[in-house]
Amino acid sequence: MTFFSIDNLAIAFGGLQALQDIRFDVQAGEVFAIIGPNGAGKTTLFNCINGIYRPDAGNIRFDGRNIQGLRPDQVARLGIARTFQNIELFANMTTMENIMLGRHVFMRTGLFRGAAMWGPRSFAGREERDHRRQVEKIIDLLRLQAVRGKLVGALPYGTQKMVELARALALEPKLLLLDEPCAGMTAEEKQDMIFWIKDIQNDLGITILLIEHDMRMVMDISDRILAINFGQPITIGTADEVRRHPEVLKAYLGEEDHRESAA
Amino acid sequence: MDMKRDYYEDVQLFTSGVVVFWMAIMLAALAIFPFLATSYYIYMANFLAINVIVVIGLNILVGYAGQVSLGHAGFFAIGAYGTVILMTEVHLPFLVALPLAGLIAAGFGFLLGLPSLRLEGPYLAIATLGFGLTITQIIGRIELFGGRQGLHTPELFIGPWHLESDRDFYFLLIPLTILLALTARNLIKTKVGRALIAIRDAEIAAETLGVNLMGYKTLAFAISAFYAGVGGGLYAFVLRFIEPEIFTLLMSIMFLAMVVVGGLGSIMGSITGACLLSWLDLQLRNILSIPYLGKWLEALSQEWFSITGVSNIQLIVFGAILVLIMLFEPLGIFGFWIRAKKYWKTWPF
C-alpha cells in the first residue's frame, strides 16, 4: 500500500482541461516535486488534493483511504497541511495567533468552554496554555522568536513565508504541500528554506509534496520529480532523468533549442 | 516592561495593574451612577447598555467574522417578542424566558447564516435586509403577537424582587451587559474567535487548517443573533410596550453604524461606539433647545430642508457627525484609541 497516490485525475474548468491523466504515488518520507511551466496546472493539482476543487474524475488516496470528495477541513484533519503560492496569512493576527490556527484541529474548547474562560485553571485557559507551549516549539525551530508578537501583515515577505510554513507544521501533518516555498525570496532566504525543508523531511519525518520553479532547488532536494505541461504529465523520475527528458526541455526551452541545462 | 512569564498572559483579561485600576473605577462609577442621576439619565443608561449588547454581538459577526447583516432589527424583534410571549403565554420566569428567546433568535441566525456560504458582501447584505424587513411584517400580522396594536410587557419579577423603576432595571441590566461583554471577549480570545478571524482574513487558508467554514459562519450568525435577541428581550422591558414599527430598517443600520464607528473587530470599540451613537441619537433630539445654535439650526432647517424645521435637523447633524468620524478616523473610535496609545508610548518623540 502506498502512502499517497493519485490515479487518473482530471478536472476541467468550462472548456479548459486543466488536468488530465495525472497519476503518481509518493512514498512515506519522500520529497516529491512537481514542476512545469506557468499555467501547467500545478496549483490546481494541490487544490484538488486539498478538496478546494472537486476533480471530475480520478482517485486520491492518502494513508489507506480515499480522500477525494472530502471538504478541505476534513482533509486537514487527516494530516495534510499546505502553504500557498501567494501568501495566505491572517494579516491582522500576530505570528503566535497565526500558528495557533494550526492547532485548531487539536483543540477541544468549543463555544461554551471558550466563553467560560475565567482564569488560567479553566478548561479553555489550560488548553490555550498547552497549545501555546506547542507553538513555541515550532517558533523556536524556525527561529521566529523575534516576530512572535508582531502582526504578520507588517512582516517582510520572506518572514511571512516562514510563518506560513510554521502554521502548516503546527498541524502536525503527515503530508505537507508546499506551493512555491521559495518564490520571491532572496538567495540567502532560499538557502535557509532548503535547509528547513531537508530538516522537516529528516528530523520530523514529514512527507513533502513540492511545487517549485527554481530548478536548482528542485534538483537539490527532491527524491523524485513529476513534470507536467498543459495539465498532462510528461514524465516522472529522479532529478537527472527528468532534466534530460526531451519533452521537459521542450516545455521549458521551446522546440528548437537544445541547450544542456534546464535551469 | 511587558515581560511575559506564562502563556496564559497572552489571553488573560487584566494585562496589568493599570487595567485593573481603571476597571475598578469604571465599576464603581457604574454602581454609584443610579443614586446620583435622575430617572431620565438612568433610562438613557439602560438604553445605552442594550445597544452595547447588540453591537458587541453584531461586531462578532461583522468585525470578527467579516460577514455583514442589515437584518439585526429582526433578531432584536424576535428576542423582544419571544421574551414577552414566553412570559405571558408560557408563564416562564423572566430569567428563563430571556435566554430562551435569545436561543430562538440564534436559531433564526443559524438559518440566515446558511446563505452566507454562497453570498458575500453586498449580496449577503441584501439577503439579511430581506430577513429584517420580513420578520416585522410577519409579526405584525400574527394575532398572538398583538398584531399592529403591539404588546404590553408584564410586570417584572425575579424571585421576590419586583423591578418597578428604571433604577431597578439598571441593576439587572448592567451586570448582564458586563457579563455578556466579558463572555464575548473570552470567545474572541479562544478557539472559536480565532477561527472566525481566520475566516475573515483568509477563508481558504482557514479551511485548509481544519476550520469548518459552514459550521463557523453559521455559528457567527447564531452568536450574533443571540446577543441581538437578548438585547431585544431587555429592550421590551425598557420600553414596557413593543410594536412592529419599532424594529425598522433604520434600527438595523444604526446598529451597523455603531459597530463601524466604534471600530470593527474590537469589543471596547463596540462599547464606545454604541454609547456614543445612542447618546448622540438621544441628545440631538434636544438640539433645538441649545441657545443660539438651536435657533440658528431651526432657521436653517426651515429655510432649506423642511417647513416644520424640527423633524429632520437632528438626523442631518447626526449624519454629518458620522461622515466626519469616518473621514478622520476610518478605523473608528478604536483606531483613535490605538493612535493615542502609540502617541503616549513614544512621547516626547
- On whether the CB atoms of residues A201 and A194 are closer than 8 A, the answer is no
C-alpha grid cell, residue A190: 532560499
* Alpha-carbon dihedral B133, B138, B139, B143, rounded to 10 degrees: 160
Check residue B1 and give its pLDDT. Answer: 37
Contact B201 A100 (CB under 8 A): no
Which runs of consecutive H residues, i.e. helices, occur in B60-146? Answer: 72-88, 94-113, 121-141
Of A76, A92, A114, the CB nearest to B210: A76
Q: Label the pairing between strands A31-35 and A207-211.
A: parallel
* Residue partners of A25: CB distance under 8 A and separation at least 6: A2, A3, A4, A5, A6
Average the pLDDT over A137-146 and give the result: 93
AA letter at B37 = A
* Complex ipTM: 0.91
Cβ neighbours of B23 (radius 10 Å): 13
> Which residue's C-alpha cell is 467554514?
B213
Name the band, by pLDDT with cuts 50, 70 and 90, for residue A131: very high
Check residue B320 and give its pLDDT. Answer: 87
- On whether the CB atoms of residues B332 and B260 are closer than 8 A, the answer is yes
C-alpha grid cell, residue A38: 506557468
Average the pLDDT over A205-220 and give the result: 89
C-alpha grid cell, residue B340: 493615542
Instruction: Report the chain A residue with the minimal C-alpha distance to residue B181.
Output: A115
Domains of chain A: 1-79+173-263 (3.40.50.300), 89-155 (no CATH)
In a mutagenesis test of the A interface, which of B182, B208, B266 is the best target, namely the one with the most A β-carbons within 10 Å? B208
* Residue partners of B286: CB distance under 8 A and separation at least 6: none
* Residue partners of B164: CB distance under 8 A and separation at least 6: none
Q: What are phi and psi of B302, to 5 degrees?
A: -65, -35
Cα distance between residue A163 and residue A93, in whole Å: 12
Q: Which residues of chain A have a CB within 8 Å of the CB of B186? A: 114-118, 124
Q: Label the pairing between strands B161-163 and B156-158.
A: antiparallel
> Which residue's C-alpha cell is 470528495?
A69
Residues 189-228 of chain B with CB under 8 A from chain A are: 189-195, 197-198, 200-202, 204-213, 219, 223
Name the band, by pLDDT with cuts 50, 70 and 90, for residue A256: low
Q: Taking 80 as the threshold, does the pLDDT of residue A202 lie above it?
A: yes
Cα distance between residue B110 and residue B223, in whole Å: 9
C-alpha grid cell, residue B271: 462599547
Three-state secondary structure call for residue B180: helix
- On whether the CB atoms of residues B197 and B190 are closer than 8 A, the answer is no
Q: Taking 60 as the threshold, does the pLDDT of residue A262 lie above it?
A: no
Cα distance between residue B301 and residue B311, in whole Å: 9
A166 interfaces chain B, CB cutoff of 8 Å: no
Closest CA to A6 of A39, A50, A37: A50
Look over chain A and give the mean of its residue pLDDT values, rounded to a whole number.
91
Contact A104 B12 (CB under 8 A): no
Cβ neighbours of B125 (radius 10 Å): 17
Distance from CA of B160 to the nearest CA of A (A): 28
Q: What are phi and psi of B60, to 5 degrees?
A: -60, -40
Cα distance between residue B342 and residue B346, in whole Å: 6
Contact B192 A117 (CB under 8 A): no
pLDDT digits (tens, 9 = 90+) for A53-99: 999 999 999 998 999 999 999 999 999 999 999 999 999 999 999 99
Q: Taking 80 as the threshold, does the pLDDT of residue A260 lie above it?
A: no
Of B8, B211, B219, the CB nearest to A120: B8
* Residue partners of B146: CB distance under 8 A and separation at least 6: B242, B243
Q: What are phi and psi of A49, to 5 degrees?
A: -60, -45
Q: Identify the burial level of A197 via C-beta atoms within 10 angstroms of its C-beta, where 0-12 means exposed, 13-18 middle and 19 or more buried.
A: buried
Closest CA to B197 of A179, A104, A145, A181: A104
Check residue A1 and give its pLDDT. Answer: 64
* Residue partners of B118: CB distance under 8 A and separation at least 6: none
Cα R_g (chain A), whole angstroms: 20
B187 interfaces chain A, CB cutoff of 8 Å: yes
Average the pLDDT over A223-233 and give the result: 93
Cβ neighbours of B22 (radius 10 Å): 11
Check residue B3 and give its pLDDT. Answer: 54
C-alpha grid cell, residue B267: 469589543
Average the pLDDT over A222-238 and give the result: 93
pTM: 0.91
Domains of chain B: 39-346 (1.10.3470)
Residue ranges of chain B whose pLDDT lies below 50: 1-2
Which residues, in sequence order, are bridge partners of residue B241?
A: B152
HSE of B263 in the Cβ direction (CA atoms, 13 Å)? 18
Cβ neighbours of A81 (radius 10 Å): 26
CA B79 to chain centre: 13
Dihedral sign, CA of B142, B144, B147, B153? negative
Check residue B301 and give its pLDDT. Answer: 75
AA letter at B190 = T
Which helix (H) or strand (E) segment holds residue A22: the answer is: strand A16-26
* Residue partners of A255: CB distance under 8 A and separation at least 6: none
C-alpha grid cell, residue B163: 423591578
- On whether the CB atoms of residues B7 and A132 are closer than 8 A, the answer is yes
Of B200, B209, B212, the CB nearest to A102: B209
Which helix (H) or strand (E) segment holds residue A59: the answer is: strand A57-62
Distance from CA of A199 to the nearest CA of B (A): 22
* Bond preceding residue B34 cis, omega within 30 of 0: no
Cα distance between residue A120 and residue A50, in whole Å: 36
